[in-house]
Structure 1
């Protein structure tokens, strides 16, 4: 099946496991834009996505004292309140206009962190959804390995996926529920400065973004000085429920010597939101390798030909996935200061 492109040029790709054509389209999109839409083949039903949004709204509408029982800590799990996260501290006068709830990995259907009272009855549902997201990321990682032509004797299609195998230990993977409220009349809000999520790149390997119809606001920074462009919930000409939006993170870019792009993006207040408008809800799955994974050069000639970049840069200095993530989180939350 041929892909189609939106006005923002982000490709819409149907997943086809083991397909060389699909793998090439994924790698091409990751090299050029760092973003792509999945139009088919995700195995995550729309009913499951809708159900997760129901649970998200249930949590964010619960009393603050209940949310505070699971406040975020340095392990990146829990609830972060309005303005507590600043994704672009150099250019923001205060934190992002959003709340978030981060779930770390589940073990045998159980959360490894305190759950808010509103979500305790739904622990199994949340765990199953997180597992489905992880499986989808593994499918994408196998296709990226195929597209990068990693030899079978070096690991082949499993090179990335095997390093994200949760049976081999914990990772920084996170399922995040997000709530961006509309700006109430009379709020201390400066459109030119304040933002829902400041300009940033993601920290991990692969990110899945689930969005609601008509709740736009995501923008990506085009390469080569192209400026900001909208990444709409539904790309122009696309009909049906919103497709899953995929983007590559810093870690996969570092791992592939910058071949796969980790694109700067942000969430703005669209004009209608500035007048009160509509709340925005989204869900994100951030996929990370197992914490102890060494970020060594990928055994792909396509990657190695790029020379001294990222994991290819120096000999004898190898960081782990956990070290990479810790440095990124410290900057966003000012942990350790």
Structure 2
């Protein structure tokens, strides 16, 4: 008997051009139900032409020789190039690493990268910095909307409770990541039942912005089973730019006692393509608070009424509340096999 194809995830599409109560309530409802939300690109300050140009820069870098990429290899600060199979997002279930490569950019200062740049992207440093800033600015807008929708106590900061912890007053774990899932050569011995492009995981930060290319599916979310996420949801005409996919990360989930869902997701070779079919490119902006931000419960009567008694903060195992930087260090150590 043939197995039924998994149903496509029905993720809401939201216009965020206005910072108002209605938009805030819709965002929170979607984040509490799915952990994922589509954001209309046209309702943001990010231009589609800039997204397309970033993808061209990404393709340019990943097409460069390995010897050039290795000059900016990833280090324990999570910046730089990671090669095929070097990252294992689901170490408990994977027998080998992810079939992808990536380039991580940390924060820029005064338009300058604080890490070695590959020769193929040196001339685009200012462009990369501007795109990083535009992603950060969109995240600040979304965080203000989430704070409004969660009805955070005004005396505690109100709509600025999250955004004040994501300002540029200090270093953070925020990362702009270029991703390349190459055609998998036959000699790699790719086994769909065992191997994966990106293992099942939740994101480590506050929120993530994901930019995808038309026709390059593969992302799946876990909700009573695995469900594919379209690049273009049904309500968005394929003639329009793909919307930005936003998902809740661990920190926003911790802060809200699990009310906002940090949903587990993965990237597979979709059934419509073979492992040797087509290279997949995507870009993710992982928004993190400043390193010193503590993972404490959000001050909100709205949340207190809705969250049952449960762990509402991340601790070090001895009851001590930890910082955003300490949380990230632990997650990266598990992913790359680094010592904590």
Shift of 1:93: 1.2
**Residues of 2 paired with 1:301 and 1:64: CA distance?**
53
Q: Equivalent residue for 1:233?
A: 231
Distance 1:293 1:125 in 2: 29
Query: How far 1:42 moved relative to its partner?
Result: 1.5
Q: What residue number does 1:8 align with?
A: 9
The superposition leaves residues 55-101 of structure 1 with CA deviations (integer Å, 9 ceiling, x where unpaired) of 00000000100000000000000000000000011111110000000
> Are 1:190 and 2:188 an aligned pair?
no
Q: What secondary structure sits across from 1:271 in the alignment? A: coil
Aligned equivalent of 2:327, options 297, 300, 324: 324
Of 317-326 and 195-204, the range deviating more from structure 2:
317-326
8 A contact 2:206–2:288 mirrored in 1: yes
If the length of structure 2 is used for normalisation, what is the TM-score? 0.93
RMSD over aligned Cα atoms? 1.7
Deviation for aligned residue 1:191: 1.1
SS of the aligned residue for 1:102 comes to strand
SS at match of 1:208: strand
Query: What pairs up with 1:140-219 in 2 under 5 angstroms?
Result: 140-166=142-168, 168-219=169-220
Q: Aligned pair 1:70/2:50, yes or no? A: no
Is 1:311–2:313 an aligned residue pair?
Answer: yes
The alpha-carbon deviation at position 315 of structure 1 amounts to 11
Deviates more, 1:118-127 or 1:177-186: 177-186
Greater CA drift, 56-65 or 15-24: 15-24
Match of 1:336 in 2: 339
Provide runs of 4+ in structure 1 moved above 3 Å: 312-316
Which among 99, 114, 117 is matched to residue 115 of structure 1? 117
Question: Which stretches in structure 2 are left out of the alignment for 5+ residues?
Answer: 1-6
Per-residue deviation, residues 91-144 of structure 1 (Å, max 9, x unmatched): 111100000000000000000000010011100000000000000000000000
Equivalent position of 1:47 in the other structure: 49
Q: Distance in 1 between matches of 2:275 and 2:324?
A: 42
After TM superposition, give the deviation of residue 184 of structure 1 in Å. 2.7
Cα distance in 1, alignment partners of residues 8 and 275 from structure 2: 26
Cα distance in 2 for partners of 1:71, 1:94 equals 20
Alpha-carbon separation, structure 1, partners of 2:276 and 2:322: 46
CA distance in 2, matches of 1:253, 1:151: 18
Q: Supply the distance in 1 between the matched residues of 2:149 and 2:318 (Cα, whole angstroms).
A: 26
| Partner Cα separation in structure 2 for residue 98 and residue 275 of structure 1 | 12
Partner of 2:292: 292
Displacement of 1:316 in angstroms is 6.6
* 1:72–1:186 CA distance, 2 compared to 1 (3 A): closer
Rounded to whole Å, the distance in 2 between the matches of 1:276 and 1:205 is 34
Aligned partners of 1:320 and 1:214: how far apart in 2? 39
TM-score by length of structure 1 reads 0.94
**CA deviation digits over 1:186-242, x for unaligned, max 9?**
4411111110000000000000000001010000001xxx20101111112411111
Contact map agreement 1:297 1:304 (CA 8 A) in 2: no
